[in-house]
A = this chain, B = another copy of it.
Amino acid sequence: MLLRLSTLFVRTLREDPADAEVASHRLLVRAGYIRRAAPGIYTWLPLGLKVLAKVEAVVREEMEAAGAQEVHFPALLPKEPYEATGRWTEYGPNIFRLKDRKGGDYLLAPTHEELFTLLVKDLYSSYKDLPLTLFQIQTKYRDEARPRAGLIRGREFVMKDAYSFDVDDAGLEASYQAQRDAYRRIFDRLGLEYVIVAATSGAMGGSRSEEFLTPTAIGEDTFVRSAGGYAANVEAVTTVVPDAIAYDDAPQAHVEDTPDTPTIDSLVALANAQHPRPDRAWTAADTLKNVVVALVQPSGERELLVIGLPGDREVDLKRLEAGVAPAEVETAGDADFARHPELVRGYIGPSVLGPNGAEGSVRYLLDPRVVEGSRWITGANEQGRHVFDLVAGRDFTADGTVEAAEVRAGDPAPDGSGPLELARGIEIGHIFALGRKYASALGLTVLDQNGKAQVVTMGSYGIGVTRVLAALAEANHDERGLAWPAHVAPAQVHVVATGKDEAVFEAAESIAQTLHSRGIEVIYDDRPKVSPGVKFADAELLGVPLVVVVGRGLAEGVVEVRPRVGGTAEQVAVAEAADRVAELVDSLR
């Protein structure tokens, strides 16, 4: 492949696009790899398409090596299968819906569990047909509320989705591991750092799921890990629950005036000053904060919920949403409070909530740290008053517990492997042991050895292919531009001819042709009237791993060969240039 910049359909931009928040987005647009067509919807220009094809090829090869067979489903699908599993409703506004000319309901598929299940049901009927893993590399659609960061959260994007079908749990485990191993090989080959973290299954359902995250400060997902090897998405972290506390000797609860305590800090200060605890000082962790939120079901139904948690922690909305999926969480508004006059803002306490309150009380869920016997300062449901020494289990109960409190660095890992540290990452893969949810809903059974129908157990495995490309750009760039790893770069060598000397262009052409004839992919900057400065800047922006400069040195019989990043420039005799470059290309592979 030999691409000449004089004719290649690319234009580099000196200015960052106005809507670009992250480096990958900024640089992919500036270097002419992609172009925005609508919010979260991108056009692929020739260079971008070449990189995308290389990423897809790695994914496809490893899927096939893992025994998965490629198929291809439509993106435009009728609603019926998604209704059968409940997802037509659960997805709420997150999918694109449309009607055809006959009024039939359709969607643009965000993922294809239903269709794969129906296809296997259509073709297979015996345990002897299994195990089976199918995959596709296909365009997917999600109507994201906030498309952002270019390809990282788009509304039309390319995904590799695979689905496994097994007769029993052991089979599912083997299929799951085969995909997990294939994912490791894919990201290893792409040179993309990754962490595998325990995750929640959310609307997908299923017993177990893990995410592949690539660590980066601009990541949307927060994850935790311990020195002892625990790793999880924050949504999946479970709280280490303290033991219950004996409360036989606990003082009786007592309501106190607490004027001028608009914050937890001021409340704690007043408590220590006016109602000191004999054994130690009160801290924010001794206050029980009751946070009101509204749950909105996909059907639109709205319900208030109060979360009780220690005052030193905030509610983490993403953790809460993972716990209440498919409902979404909104802030409670004036109208909500107007319907519940028992909720005195700033002074809400357990006695009016859930099982403690009157008929029709707002549902009340507690952080798992609020164990039986724990003592709290909390709202007394009156302006300017709090209740002290309120003991969980003795003075109040709740409708259950919820993992909604923020996870903090230093919290203990649930498996006892030490304190957690927090980091951010981009989700590049997600694997689910789905179990029998979809097969049950859609009636996918096979006959077992005894001729008895068995519901098939499934896994589903996704890689965001376009997002992986963005993650690669995120991990491989500097302030001057992209810096692709050789195996995904649009070309391995970028030959630059500078000046106006015809001999320079002839020598550069000859080197480019020689490399091309050896199967090396070459971009050749043969533009006649472009300054060396612009050509060098473009080479750095495009990010091809090796740059060959043919220019003034040619008078002394040398050309310059330099890596895009690291290493140093070499002066190479023009006659040996192609050999030396080929050698360097080999060393990059």
A residues adjacent to B (C-beta < 8 A): 8-11, 32, 35, 37-38, 41-46, 49, 52, 69-78, 93-94, 96-98, 100-101, 106, 108, 115, 119, 122-124, 132, 134, 139, 141, 143, 145, 155-156
Q: How far apart are the CA atoms of A97 and B71 in the complex, in Å?
A: 27
> Given A139-B75, A156-B75, are A9 and B98 also a contact pair (CB < 8 Å)?
no
Nearest-neighbour CB distance to chain B for A145, whole angstroms, equals 7
In the complex, the answer to whether A96 meets B76 with C-beta atoms within 8 Å is yes
Contacts of A132 in B (CB 8 A): 9
In the A-B complex, list the 6 residue pairs whose CB atoms are closest, starting with the nearest: A98-B98, A44-B72, A11-B123, A93-B101, A41-B74, A38-B78
Contacts of A119 in B (CB 8 A): 35, 43
Nearest-neighbour CB distance to chain B for A73, whole angstroms, equals 5
In the complex, the answer to whether B124 meets A74 with C-beta atoms within 8 Å is no
In the complex, the answer to whether A37 meets B69 with C-beta atoms within 8 Å is no
In the complex, the answer to whether B74 meets A43 with C-beta atoms within 8 Å is yes
In the complex, the answer to whether B69 meets A46 with C-beta atoms within 8 Å is yes
Contacts of A45 in B (CB 8 A): 71
Cβ contact of A69, chosen from B8, B94, B96, B145, cutoff 8 A: B8
In the complex, the answer to whether A41 meets B98 with C-beta atoms within 8 Å is no
In the complex, the answer to whether A115 meets B9 with C-beta atoms within 8 Å is no
> Given A46-B70, A69-B46, A143-B100, are A38 and B122 also a contact pair (CB < 8 Å)?
no
In the complex, the answer to whether B73 meets A43 with C-beta atoms within 8 Å is yes
Q: How far apart are the CA atoms of A141 and B97 in the complex, in Å?
A: 15
Q: How far apart are the CA atoms of A41 and B72 in the complex, in Å?
A: 12
Contacts of A124 in B (CB 8 A): 11
In the complex, the answer to whether B69 meets A43 with C-beta atoms within 8 Å is no
Contacts of A70 in B (CB 8 A): 46, 49
> Given A49-B71, A101-B143, A139-B139, are A77 and B37 also a contact pair (CB < 8 Å)?
yes
Contacts of A122 in B (CB 8 A): 35
Nearest-neighbour CB distance to chain B for A111, whole angstroms, equals 15
Q: How far apart are the CA atoms of A266 and B76 in the complex, in Å?
A: 54
Contacts of A93 in B (CB 8 A): 101
In the complex, the answer to whether A156 meets B44 with C-beta atoms within 8 Å is no
Q: How far apart are the CA atoms of A122 and B123 in the complex, in Å?
A: 48
What are 20 A-B pairs with beta-carbon distances under 8 A? A9-B69, A9-B71, A11-B123, A38-B78, A41-B77, A43-B71, A43-B72, A43-B115, A46-B69, A46-B71, A49-B71, A75-B139, A76-B96, A76-B141, A96-B100, A97-B98, A98-B98, A98-B108, A101-B143, A101-B145
Nearest-neighbour CB distance to chain B for A49, whole angstroms, equals 5
